[in-house]
């Protein structure tokens, strides 16, 4: 027994002198890493576009909800993966589940908030599908009876409302972006005022909507 104790004591001395005893285990080292910044605090990237925290209303570990620059209908928002990837197949299984789970929660909450009776979920996967921002996102659009004469018009409106780099940073009143988008407005069959919907909004307008939505999530 005494020889075993001496051998154990000798091994501890060797380990201490070599620095092995002071090396943290991998699991402990990983736990000490700082958590990633919250999008609600620091903002995020939407493809090449910088989104300020003021325009984000919901966040999970893998997805965010952000207000739309050019809403097609009242309550039209976007659910975006936190990781910047262009195509739906680029998402992991966990990211896919989280994206649609948040979209479901947001759609249900907004349906009641704006007095809608249905919700359209739209995902444009690639430029030929109408995607203008190369970052996976789901459009959530609360719907009411008669909002479009032809129900399929909503998909054409979503494509026409696609955001492009630089539009969110237009002048404070959004006049430059509004003038550009009004040229493509189609009013036939629309329930909503085309001068109030699907035009580029100012940063202040988007921040105000995000602030109203945050308490819901």
Annotated catalytic sites, by residue? 137
Count of positions (residues) in the chain: 217
User: How far apart are alpha carbons 76 and 2 in whole angstroms?
Assistant: 77
Burial class (CB in 10 A: 0-12, 13-18, 19+), 123: middle
Dist CA 79 CA 37 (whole Å): 18
Q: What is the distance of C-alpha 148 from the center of its chain?
A: 26
- In a 3-state reduction of DSSP, which class is residue 185? coil
Q: How many CB atoms lie within 10 A of CB 124?
A: 20
Q: For residue 208, report the phi and psi dihedrals to the nearest 5 degrees.
A: -65, -40
Q: How far is the C-alpha of 213 from the C-alpha of 207, rounded, in Å?
A: 10
Distance CA(206)–CA(70), nearest Å, equals: 10
Hey, which residues does 78 pair with through a beta bridge? 66, 139
Task: Find all residues with CB under 8 Å of 183, minimum gap 6, and list them.
Answer: none
């Amino acid at each position: 027994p005494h020889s075993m104790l001496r051998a154990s004591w000798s091994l501890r001395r060797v380990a201490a002198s070599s620095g092995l005893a002071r090396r943290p285990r991998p699991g402990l080292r990983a736990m000490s890493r700082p958590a990633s910044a919250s999008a609600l605090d620091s903002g995020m990237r939407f493809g090449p576009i910088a989104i300020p925290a003021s325009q984000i209303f919901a966040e999970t570990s893998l997805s965010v909800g952000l207000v739309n620059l050019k809403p097609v209908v009242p309550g039209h928002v976007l659910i975006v993966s936190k990781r910047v990837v262009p195509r739906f197949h680029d998402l992991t299984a966990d990211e896919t589940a989280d994206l649609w789970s948040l979209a479901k929660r947001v759609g249900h909450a907004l349906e009641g908030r704006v007095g809608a009776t249905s919700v359209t979920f739209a995902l444009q996967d690639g430029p030929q599908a109408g995607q203008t921002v190369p970052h996976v996102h789901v459009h959530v659009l609360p719907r009411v009876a008669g909002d479009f004469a032809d129900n399929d018009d909503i998909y054409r409106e979503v494509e026409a409302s696609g955001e492009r780099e630089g539009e969110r940073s237009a002048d404070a009143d959004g006049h430059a972006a509004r003038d550009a988008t009004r040229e493509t407005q189609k009013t036939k069959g629309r329930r909503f005022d085309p001068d109030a919907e699907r035009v580029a909004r100012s940063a202040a307008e988007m921040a105000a909507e995000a602030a109203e939505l945050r308490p819901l999530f």
